[in-house]
Amino acid sequence: MLVKLLNTLLMVVVALSITGVINRTRALLAGRKGIRFFQHIYNVRLQLRKGAVYSTTTTALFRIAPTVYLGATLLAFLFIPIADLEPLLSFHGDIILVAYLLALSRVTIILAAMDTGSSFEGMGAAREALYGALVEPALMMGMATLALFCGYSSFADIFSMAQELDMNLTIVLFLLAYVFVIIMIIEAGRVPVDDPKTHLELTMIHEVMCLDYSGVDMGLIHIAGWLKNAIFAVIAANAIAVAVSFHWWFAAPLAILITGVTIGVIESLRARNKLSRNITYILTIVAMSALVLLTGFLLIQNIEI
Amino acid sequence: MGLYHITNNRTTAVALKDIPVVEYVDLYNDLKERMCDVRYHVGHYFAVEIENGLKFYLLLLDDETSEVLITSFVPDYYAEGLASLTAIHPQFHPFEREMHELYGIPFDSHPWLKPLRFSYDRRDKSSTMDSYPFYTIEGDELHEVNVGPIHAGIIEPGAFRFICDGEQVLHLEIALGYQHRGVETEMVRNQNRLRQTLIAESIAGDTAVGHATAYAEVVEKLAGKQASKALNLERMIAIELERIAMHLADTGALATDIGFQLFQVACEALRTVTINTSQAWCGNRFGKSVIRPCGSNHPLTAEKIAMIRKNIADVRRRYNEVREDILESQSLLARFDQCGLVPRDEMIRIGGVGQAARASGLLRDLRTTHPWGYYAEIKHESVLKHECDVMSRLATRMDEVLQSADYIEKALSEYTPNEAIPAPDYEPQLALESLSFSLVEGWRGEICHVAITDAQGDIAKYKIKDPSVHNWLGLAIAVRSEGISDFPINNKSFNLSYCGHDL
């Protein structure tokens, strides 16, 4: 039980730290001192203390959406182990549940955005639906690769069996980590797919869907975002940990650094994609995911080509 | 007397009696042919109330000979409408729309006489923002996106109505007028020249020096005073400083819009150095108070010259590094190249001016074609780019920054400190019943101020034209068939003024 609690605690630390590392990396590269490391947490604390303002055109759907969004993400969050630790929840086939919980959270927020009747949010919802549909195969194939390696279909089992893996699979695991980091960038709406810092409604994807949310609802959406980041970050870190050193004290910091630094560096050193190019970008990740699955399959079966 | 009175940008005011009064039919027929030649474009076109009606003035610029052609006509407009010039040469559209809005002149066969800026003294008070006649297209596949008039951040008010097919923009309509302050009336109501200078500095906050120079030139021409070489050098330094500062700001803003942090912070830092240089010179970061009619309050001293020289050399060197990196940045080029095309022919048709026109290969640069002050001596060569896209507009800016830095350096070396520059004169005797105009190339483009004095030597009519009046239509054309998410970078690549348009 203690192990499970430690796992959950570490997951929370990862979730809370990634945004801080991103901000710090960006500030360093821009030659700035930067905001406090945990400033984003203070901001959300402030939001949670506030009430919420609702547009008169919205329905109950709009009001429950942040709760469902956070709830679904939190549930998925509890299934993820950090390297050799055990997650709070686990059962056979939970990787499918996690994928669908994430899809549920996405659909909820899309519906809520459509509910406002705003043309901006409609555009954002259309974009999010398109990118969500495109990135899902990458996620599923990535998880399938893990399941294939271990013959199990729950995160806990997959990673607990991982030490016995053939070292030939190392390269596949690194590729898998790469795929998950990019999936996280897409899901979190960071550069080059989206830009959370922009004030331009016409170019937003994720942010524009939350334009009508305020106060406590906005806070919930932010928290759900952090949890979502942690899910992908930890899966990516686990994939590397399997190949390098399968311990929680290695995987947890790695999860924070690998995503935080990568995103911070990317956001400083390159421009956003043209919106129409995002489709190509996401499909490339899907293709890479398919490649990982295929290579993994060939290696597992010892098939010689 | 011919159809036009011919003058140029460096002579004194024109007596009203020297301006021919022609028949509109003759003028119309002449312009029909003449404006097909790219060397001509409209400087200003406006109507003035006289006894029993209106008198129209037209300023035409000839870019080849540096001549300015002035003419006027007094139609019996109640008897019949005037044939619209916009129908043949769209560059007349803002002027005809303005006159229609103010005086109800029915321009025959004008494509669309919608209001320009909802002046408070407009003829039809029932025409308001709320009844703005937006263009609509019917279709199940299409959707409208309305942006503004209130925007996020520090953007001025203006409504943008997009008609989109999915992500693709079919049509953008820009409705302005939310910033109308009655500047032109204010310039006439108060004859205190200092107060008028301050108003001129506030016509467009980002072009304080440009508009103040235009005002000072107008007054000096009416007063028959020629600015000394030292004064002209000072004004040139001020306006080029403003150009550098704004082009730097826009380079940074373009980087911000594509989420490119490094270029953004680099340009913001450099802009701060530039505007702080202005502040160290005159006490205002935007160069307000540098330009005053007939003199200056801030003659450059040896220390200030050294300070400006050092800062600008530093900015030039560092910006050149940024510029080289920008030209090699693939992800940035992928966004800006081939985005927001405004072909040269289109620029000519809509009467585009300034750096946006130069980015489309159209030479509209008053420093070259209608030089004033010290520009007549330096033989300015305009930066011309022919790609017509966002990158082209950015590249024009980048090259102009380097050029402006060189001009400042040159002007500083020509300038002898401690030379006696007179203090500003706010009470010069102005020529009676005259028309005075000034043409100044601000960082955005052509600024044209026109003043008409009455029999007492007071300014009876003051007309202002910011380059934005021409170029807003260019933005609407640039985003056609682009993705709607590329609107912000197109908008920044033009960076037009709302209040300069609305006055």
The tens place of each residue's pLDDT in chain B, 503 residues long, gives 588 888 888 888 888 888 898 888 888 888 888 888 899 999 999 999 888 888 899 999 998 998 999 999 888 756 567 888 898 999 999 999 998 888 888 888 888 888 888 888 888 888 888 888 888 888 888 888 888 788 877 788 889 999 998 889 999 999 888 889 989 999 998 889 899 999 999 999 899 999 999 999 999 999 888 888 888 999 999 999 999 999 999 999 999 888 888 899 999 999 999 999 999 998 899 989 899 998 888 888 888 899 999 999 999 999 999 999 999 999 899 999 999 999 999 999 999 999 999 999 999 999 999 998 888 888 888 899 999 999 999 999 999 999 999 999 988 888 887 777 888 888 888 888 899 999 999 999 999 999 999 888 889 999 999 999 999 999 999 999 888 889 989 999 999 999 999 88
Task: Kindly determine whether residue A267 and residue B259, on different chains, have CB atoms separated by under 8 Å.
Answer: yes
Q: Answer left, alpha or beta for residue B144, where phi above 0 means left and psi between -120 and 50 means alpha.
A: beta
Query: What is the DSSP code string of B336-350?
Result: HTT-S---HHHHHHH
For residue B232, give the amino acid letter: N
Q: Is the pLDDT of residue A16 over 60?
A: yes
Whether residue B143 lies within 8 A of chain A, CB to CB, comes out as yes
**Interface contact A89, partner B, CB < 8 A:** no
The alpha-carbon gap from B258 to the nearest alpha carbon of chain A, in Å, equals 5
At A174, list the tokens: 């690194």
Q: Comparing C-alpha atoms, which of B93, B145, B116 is closest to residue B487?
A: B145
A280 touches chain B (CB under 8 A): no
Interface touch B487/A192, C-beta < 8 Å: no
Measure the CA–CA gap between A162 and A303, rounded to whole angstroms. Answer: 21
Asked whether the CA dihedral A202, B341, B91, B45 is positive or negative, the reply is positive
Residue among B134, B258, B394 with most chain A CBs within 10 A, to mutate = B258
A33 touching B (Cβ < 8 Å):
no
User: What average pLDDT does this structure show over A293-304?
Assistant: 82
Q: Distance (Å, rounded) from C-alpha A184 to C-alpha A225?
A: 10
For B395-448, the three-class secondary structure string (H helix, E strand, C coil) is HHHHHHHHHHHHHHHHHHHHCCCCCCCCCCCCCCCCCCCEEEEEEEECCCCEEE
**How many Cβ atoms sit within 10 Å of the Cβ of residue B424?**
17
Residue B127: C-alpha distances to residues B19, B83, B124, B132 (Å): 35, 23, 6, 7
Q: Distances in Å between the alpha carbon of B219 and those of A188, B190, B193, B229, B312?
A: 58, 14, 9, 17, 31
Q: How far apart are CA A66 and CA A109, in angstroms?
A: 7
Residue at A19: amino acid letter: T
Angle separating helix axes A277-300 and A119-150, nearest 10 degrees: 10
CB A268 to CB B167 under 8 A? no
Distance CA B491, CA B161 (A): 14
- Name the minimum distance, in Å, from the CA of B300 to any CA of chain A: 34
Q: Which of B152, B259, B487 has its CB closest to that of A272?
A: B259
* Helices vs. strands in chain B: H and E counts, helices first: 17, 14
Chain-centroid distance, C-alpha A211? 21
> Are the Cβ atoms of B486 and A272 closer than 8 angstroms?
no
Can you state the angle between helices A94-115 and A119-150, rounded to 10 degrees? 180
Q: How far apart are the first and last CA of chain A?
A: 46
Spatial distance between the Cα atoms of B83 and B203, rounded to a whole number of angstroms: 32
Looking at the complex, does the CB of residue A56 fall below 8 Å from at least one CB of chain B? no
B327 touches chain A (CB under 8 A): no
Contact flag A277-B144 (C-beta cutoff 8 Å): no
Q: Does A92 touch chain B (CB under 8 A)?
A: no
- Which of A197, A203, A280 best probes binding to B when mutated, by most B CB atoms within 10 angstroms? A203
Residues of B with Cβ-Cβ distance to A117 under 8 angstroms: none
Number of helices (H) and strands (E) in chain A: give both, helices first: 11, 0
Q: Determine, for residues A269 and B147 on separate chains, whether the beta-carbon distance falls below 8 Å.
A: no
Residue among B116, B60, B150, B147 at smallest CA distance from B473? B116
pLDDT tens, position by position, A66-97: 999 999 999 999 999 998 888 999 888 888 99
Q: Which residues of A touch B488 (CB under 8 A)?
A: 200, 202-203
CB contact under 8 A, B260 and A270: yes
A53: number of CA atoms within 13 Å, CB side?
A: 4
* pLDDT tier, A100 (very low <50, low <70, confident <90, very high otherwise): very high
Distance from C-alpha of B73 to C-alpha of B57, rounded to nearest angstrom = 7
The amino acid at residue B29 is: N
- Which amino acid would we find at residue B362? L
CA distances from B48 to B80, B99, B435, B464 (A): 18, 10, 12, 13
Q: Which of A184, A180, A168, A202 is nearest to A301 (CA)?
A: A168
Say what the pLDDT of residue B118 is.
Answer: 85
Q: Which helix (H) or strand (E) holds B249?
A: helix B229-257
Q: For position A172, what pLDDT does the model report?
A: 86
* Interface contact A119-B144, CB threshold 8 A: yes
Residue B196 CA to residue B215 CA, distance in Å, equals 8
Q: How far A31 CA sits from the closest chain B CA (Å)? A: 9
- b/e per residue, B181-200, with b = 16+ CB within 10 A? eebbeebbeeeebeebbebb
Whole-angstrom distance, CA of residue A229 vs CA of residue A15: 7
Is there a contact between B488 and A203 if contact means CB atoms under 8 Å apart?
Answer: yes
Residue among B145, B137, B18, B126 nearest B72 (CA): B18
Whether residue B153 lies within 8 A of chain A, CB to CB, comes out as yes
Q: How many residue pairs bridge chain A and chain B with CB atoms within 8 Å of each other?
A: 79
Q: Give the tokens for residue B176.
A: 């302005």
Q: Which residues contact B60 (CB under 8 A, 6 or more apart)?
A: B4, B31, B34, B40, B41, B42, B43, B68, B69, B70, B71
**B335–A29 C-beta distance less than 8 A:** no
Which site among A28, A29, A265, A272 would you substitute to test the B interface, given the most B Cβ atoms closer than 10 Å to its Cβ?
Answer: A272
Residue of B nearest to A194 (CA): B259
Residue B389, chain A, CB below 8 Å: the answer is no
Cβ <8 Å between B487 and A202: yes
Mutate which of B150, B262, B485 to disrupt the A interface (most A C-beta within 10 Å)? Answer: B485
Q: B490 CA to chain A: closest CA distance, Å?
A: 12
Q: Quick one: pLDDT at residue B4?
A: 87
Which of A119, A203, A276 has the CB atom closest to B143's CB atom?
A: A119
Q: At what angle do helices B487-494 and B468-478 cross, to 10 degrees?
A: 160
Closest CA of chain A from B312, distance in Å: 22
pLDDT band at A5 (very low <50, low <70, confident <90, very high): very high
Q: Which residues of B touch A269 (CB under 8 A)?
A: 262
From the CB of residue A298, how many other CB atoms can be counted at a distance below 10 Å? Answer: 13
Q: Are B252 and B390 in contact (CB under 8 A)?
A: no
Taking the CA atoms of chain A, what radius of gyration do you get in angstroms?
19
- pLDDT at residue B359 in the model: 93
Which residue in A245, A102, A86, A100 sits closest to A157, CA to CA? A86
* Dihedral angle computed from the Cα positions of residues B326, B327, B332 and B335, in that order, rounded to the nearest 10 degrees: 140
Q: Inter-chain contact A29–B485, Cβ cutoff 8 Å?
A: no
Q: In this structure, are residues B122 and B101 in contact, taking their beta carbons and an 8 Å threshold?
A: yes
- Residue in A195, A268, A276 nearest the CB of B262: A268
CA distances from B43 to A23, B40, B59, B226, B437 (A): 50, 9, 5, 22, 10
CB within 8 Å: A276 and B483: yes
Residue that is written with structure tokens 């997959």 in the block: A158
Select the residue of A122, A198, A271 nearest B335 (Cβ to Cβ): A271
Is A119 in the B-facing interface, judged by CB distances under 8 Å?
A: yes
Cβ pair B265:A123 closer than 8 A: no
Yes or no, beta carbons of A271 and B153 under 8 Å apart: no
How far is Cα A112 from Cα A210, in angstroms, rounded to an integer? Answer: 9
Q: What is the pLDDT of residue B79?
A: 59
Q: Of B450, B469, B17, B485, which is closest to residue B222 (Cα–Cα)?
A: B450
- Is residue A197 within 8 angstroms of chain B, CB to CB? yes
Q: Average of pLDDT values for A205-221?
A: 91
pLDDT for A162 beyond 70: no
